Chains A and B, each alone.
Chain A
Amino acid sequence: MALNQQQNTVCLRTLHLPADERCTLAAYRRLGGYAQWERILRDKVDPSTVIEELKLSNLRGRGGAGFPTGLKWSFMPRNAPGQKYIICNSDEGEPGTCKDRDILRFNPHQVVEGMAIAGYCIGATVGYNYIRGEFFEPIACFEGALQEAYAAGLLGRDIQGSGVDFDLYTHAGAGAYVCGEETALIESIEGKKGQPRYKPPFPAQCGLYGRPTTINNTETLASVPVILERGGQWFLDQGRPNNGGTKLFSISGHVNNPCNVEVSLGTPFRDLLAMAGGVKDGRALKAVIPGGSSVPVVPGDLMMETDMDYDSITKVGSMLGSGAVIVIAEGTCMVKVLANLSNFYMRESCGQCTPCREGTGWLARVVGRIAAGQGRPADLDLLESVAGRIGGRTICALGDAAAMPVQSFLKHYRDEFVQLIERGASHAA
């Protein structure tokens, strides 16, 4: 099936507008914005029909895990008494990822509308958008949109006489990567140290302040108004079966034109690379980390034959993740790349679970030692063993995220590690 070649049609649909207009309510309304929210309010649309439309669209969570959004919303005890919450996860800490930043910068009203619709569907009258603390400009943009929406009577109490309440708040994070994990994010909003909670119970039963809560990624929520406007089938048709819709990719690393681009799921990696201007300085492609720093690395030749969707990337042993495509050109020392990544996970482990707290530091030190030419032959088996003892043994996925790069780098580039260890040893001699 031929893919839609148009770019930036859903979450970044305001991108073509002049820079001083993009964020405004007027511009968003001209594109048909808030029409879905007003229709829902006016017609008292049954939440289950919205959820059915989302299920049809095949929208999967865009934060990294890829969980079907319609299904997630249907878990909420919508009619149970008491407060419920919708949270937008704009923490976006995954190295390489900066797509949510641009949605908030260029199209904040669509996030507001998506959150309002989500709140309506799950029975939440309060929403929080948890935005990464370093995102000064996106926070200001979103806050501006929020003020406009309140002033226009699109949020608040008894919105447009519908009897529906929805209050929305901006919450700035404080710079911890782990707060992108949904339960750590909840702890952070509650004013506690950001560390993940053991699940179950899941947030849909016991979330923010112990109440049922749904957490969706910014891109996921921003996709909702367009899905409702153009239909679930249309969205599904943008991509492939089980991989419906469009996806924002943040292409960084050794490319000529690092950029965010929203394309159909299933777009060949080859095309995506071209959109970013190809590998920098005409060098050959060595490797790609296709879904943010925590997913396994894929050798370049394999990647050039792969399409950018959930299932295709899984087939080459990695994950689509958050859509952060990190391009690594030939001539790059993979040991140093891994040392950088491992250092990041050591710094960002919350320190709660033993394997992650102790293991990430161990990995980082050993990889760092090898990179510094002080590796020992036994180190590689040690790294594999330690990584294996972290993965799957922790409360949240940060432990896996720290382990997977180590395992995949050793799988594909073991010879580079061996060389460095031998050269380091001979230097020492």
Chain B
Amino acid sequence: MTDTLTIEINGRACEASPGEMIIAVADREGISIPRFCYHKKLSIAANCRMCLVEAEQGGRPFPKPVPACATPVFPGMKVQTRSPKAIEAQRSVMEFLLINHPLDCPICDQGGECELQDVAMGYGADCSRFTEGKRVVMDEDLGPLIATDMTRCIQCTRCVRFGAEIAGLRELGGTGRGEWMRIGTYVDHPLTHELSGNIIDLCPVGALTAKPSRFTARAWELTARDGIAPHDGVGSNLRLHVRRGQVMRVHPRDNETVNETWLSDRDRFSYVGLNGADRLTEPLVKREGRWVAVEWTEALTLVAERLKAADAHATGWLIAPNATLEEMYLAQGIARGLGCPNIDHRLRQRDFRGEGADPRLPWLGVSIPELQSQESVLLIGSDIRAEHPLLAHRLRQAVLADGSLTLVNPARVDLTHPATQLAQGPAGMVGELAAIAAALGASGFGILRNVIAGVKPSAEHQAIAASLRSAGGNDIGLILLGALAAAHPDYTLLKALAYVIAGFTRCKVGYLPAAANSVGAALAGALPGVLPGGEPAARRGLPVSDILAAPCRTVVLWGLEPDLDLGNPRLAMDALAQADFVVAASAFRSESLESVADVLLPIGAFAETSGTFVNAAGTWQSFQGAVPPPGSARPGWKILRVLGNLLDLQGFEYRDTAEIRTELATQCAAAPLDNTPVAELGVAPLGVGEGLVRLGDVPPYAIDPLVRRCGPLQRTAGLATIGVWLNAAQAADLGLAAGDVVEVSQDGPVVRTRVLIDQRVPFGCARIPAGVPGSETLGDQFAPISIVKAE
């Protein structure tokens, strides 16, 4: 593709690549050609006919106007996009598009930002020649995220092609012929795909609009501010559409190396949680069991006094992994300034054995676009579509390009492409990896020797090993560790086996971050054993499990809810209840915080503070606050900065987040992200435990306080609710059937819930999600559980 050719558009010479379509060349040259069905990220349909142009080749004009979106360029081709013939063709198509369109712009949510409206201004007539009755189309109920007005549909099929090509799930299709052709689900059902909201952006008219935001604001009332999505490790680039200090809706901002032009539903709709009723709007202090609103000075003076007075080694700081880089850096600065090394952001990680051997600055291992070109990927412990919808999309593209994907998970997960899934429960994950290692001829070292020697690789393991070896040899093989691995009781062992496999295949090892700023947390030093910039700490502090198990007498909670965001909520709540002093900085009120905390500090949530997130691929993405925090809530960094002053700590003179970032960036300059372990890992397997084992995955809309408060996302089909999912054989074995009420417990309080049948869950396991209401009194995500039928 190095050779280029020259064509002429409207008399202007344009460089083009062989095989390129006229419209792509014109777009690059800034020559506008009207279009509806064409989209640069979708296949070419050539059905709207709006982009008809006049063309000639070798001096011979094409007999008819040609669609610019589907006509490849040839050397010497001459194209006229504005000749009388071309304009006539374009105006003709516009007339046809409008005859059955309701032209209800004044009551249409798309009005003012509608492609049809815009193009009609240029190519439509002021008066229609069509005097017959117009078509009416019944609406679809696509669920709580997308509103439909199908009468407005111009059948461009962008939404249909998105489903088939990008999402991989054909939830929408065209049915019927001729003018009865309609877009719909055929059998009524809400859309379930985690990227479904993108069809709102793709729809060139007001047929598909955002249900949460429609009828709330006009496009011209909104100010667009740039932002970065706060949930997963992609760090999708956003435009926050703001009116009078409120985020009204969120759109994607193009960035080819991050989110292309897409956005996950979580990143698109979670802003709704910002505008909820349970925002924390003023500092609160608990006095004799009652919450009293106080001034900032009073609250922070109290916090400073108590932190200063506390035993630093019995103090713990737990920071949410989607806090900003600046917040993390200041928080660890205060903790360490007071002599407290106990600071952690790995809220759901359980196994910290061999932590000293961990890579200090772990990351994805490749850039996000590079995921698409991997030949073979081994994904360990990840429901990738739930954790990182847009990375799942990249991996799907890799598979469609003949790559292969293997998943080692506790249970099968739903994918939209072929993959090998090894899913034999949490305990089985170690065995499966050991078998792949054995298939590679690895014998392991130390304790791993026994683990690997104890398994017999099957033909499937041999095939996976061969695929990884071939890919690794070509430098396009990758082993990724995800959130379900991090919550595993033998995470250390899973990591060790991953590195053994990597060593034998020359595949890279990568880490899927738990949240938007997990990579940044390591850079900022929000780890017990790592200082800012990746320097090892002279004295290693306690990881999250020990902060809670010891337990610490004084605890700082930053941006999290202890009963939903920690790996073992019961242990966490017990520990916090026993603590002498708990201060929680939070954007939201919550029962659990109010029960365990002594001071509540209102902080600005996503979109309400400036800061930086470092995404999975190590890209630093800074943003400004788009709206002010509610009431007297303040951006977190400002609170920490003042707290630092009150504690008389050195260097807390920052005027803005840019200064903090610059200071940290200097320290990080010499510290590249690196997944090489600093020592050999290897520990004895702990095992998951005997009997029926819980699979406690965190559903995609339960991962952080903001998304849990997004009503529309919570109303999508059963994604964030408690329940017991069993396979049919396991249910029969327990004498249970779908719909039965059961009592569930993990050596603690009993939770009543219902049984659902799910054949993806292996025998011996019960899926009971974590992070969802009802799961607060349960224990570890992967641990023995008792289930009895309720009387």
Contacts and interface: CB of A to CB of B under 8 A. Distances in A.
Given A351-B155, A354-B47, A389 B96 contact: yes
Interface stretch (A151-159, A283-291, A292-300, A390-398): A390-398
A366 B132 contact: yes
B49 A394 contact: yes
B93 interface: yes
Given A354-B96, A389-B96, A362 B130 contact: yes
A382 B129 contact: yes
Residue of B49, B65, B130 with most chain A CB atoms under a 10 A cut-off: B49
A351 B64 contact: no
Interface stretch (B171-179, B362-370, B628-636): B171-179
B65 A392 contact: yes
B435 interface: no
Contacts of B535: none
B177 A348 contact: yes
Contact of A351 (B48, B173, B176): B176
A205 to B, nearest CB: 13
A168 interface: no
Nearest to A178: B177
A351 B130 contact: no
A355 B95 CA distance: 9
A246 B132 CA distance: 46
B174 A358 contact: no
Interface string B37-73: 0000000111111101000000000011101001010
A393 B178 contact: no
Contact of B173 (A193, A198, A365): A193
A361 interface: yes
A393 B92 contact: yes
B89 interface: yes
A360 interface: yes
Interface in B1-53: 44-50, 52
Contacts of A369: 132
Contacts of B46: 198, 395
B181 interface: yes
Given A353-B47, A360-B178, A394-B49, A365 B132 contact: yes
A355 B132 contact: no
A29 interface: no
B154 interface: yes
A7 interface: no
Contact of A355 (B49, B177, B178): B49
A4 interface: no
B48 A347 contact: no
A313 interface: no
B177 A350 contact: yes
Contacts of A347: 177-178
Given A362-B130, A393-B52, A351 B92 contact: no
A176 interface: yes
A354 B177 contact: no
B178 A359 contact: no
Contacts, number: 94
Given A351-B155, A393-B65, A358 B179 contact: yes
A349 interface: yes
Contacts of B93: 354-355, 393
A193 B182 CA distance: 12
A351 B49 contact: no
Interface string A390-413: 001111000000000000000000
Nearest to B52: A393
Interface in A2-48: none
A346 interface: yes
Interface string A354-385: 11111111100110010000000000001001
Interface in B71-121: 72, 89, 92-93, 95-97, 99-100
Given A358-B97, A382-B129, A393 B174 contact: no
B175 A358 contact: no
Nearest to B173: A193
B-side interface size class: 35 or more
B contacts with A: majority SS: loop
A83 interface: no
A351 B183 CA distance: 11
A352 interface: yes
Contacts of B154: 354
Interface in A250-292: none
Contacts of A385: 129
Contact of B99 (A349, A352, A362, A395): A362
A352 B95 CA distance: 16
B180 interface: yes
A92 B487 CA distance: 63
B44 A358 contact: no
Contacts of B178: 346-351, 356-357, 360-361
Nearest to B96: A358
Nearest to B176: A351
A409 to B, nearest CB: 20
Interface in A103-131: none
Contacts of B44: 198
A176 B96 contact: no
Contacts of B129: 382, 385
Contacts of B176: 351
B181 A359 contact: no
A178 B65 CA distance: 23
A347 B99 CA distance: 18
Contact of A352 (B47, B50, B52): B47
Nearest to A398: B178
Interface in B142-182: 154-155, 173-181
Interface string B286-321: 000000000000000000000000000000000000
Nearest to B97: A354
A193 B175 contact: yes
Interface in A320-364: 346-362
Nearest to B133: A365
Nearest to B50: A354
A355 B92 contact: yes
B99 A393 contact: no
Contacts of B50: 354
B349 to A, nearest CB: 46
B173 A361 contact: no
A407 to B, nearest CB: 15
Given A354-B154, A357-B181, A389 B174 contact: no
23 contacts: A193-B175, A346-B178, A348-B177, A348-B178, A351-B155, A351-B174, A351-B179, A352-B45, A352-B155, A354-B49, A354-B97, A357-B155, A357-B181, A358-B97, A358-B100, A361-B132, A362-B96, A362-B99, A382-B129, A392-B65, A393-B52, A395-B46, A395-B47
Given A349-B177, A358-B97, 11 more contacts: A200-B72, A347-B178, A349-B179, A354-B155, A357-B155, A357-B179, A357-B181, A382-B129, A389-B96, A393-B52, A393-B89
Smallest CB-CB A-B distances: 7 pairs: A351-B181, A349-B178, A389-B92, A358-B96, A392-B64, A198-B46, A365-B132
Interface of A: 176, 178, 193, 198, 200, 346-362, 365-366, 369, 382, 385, 389, 392-395
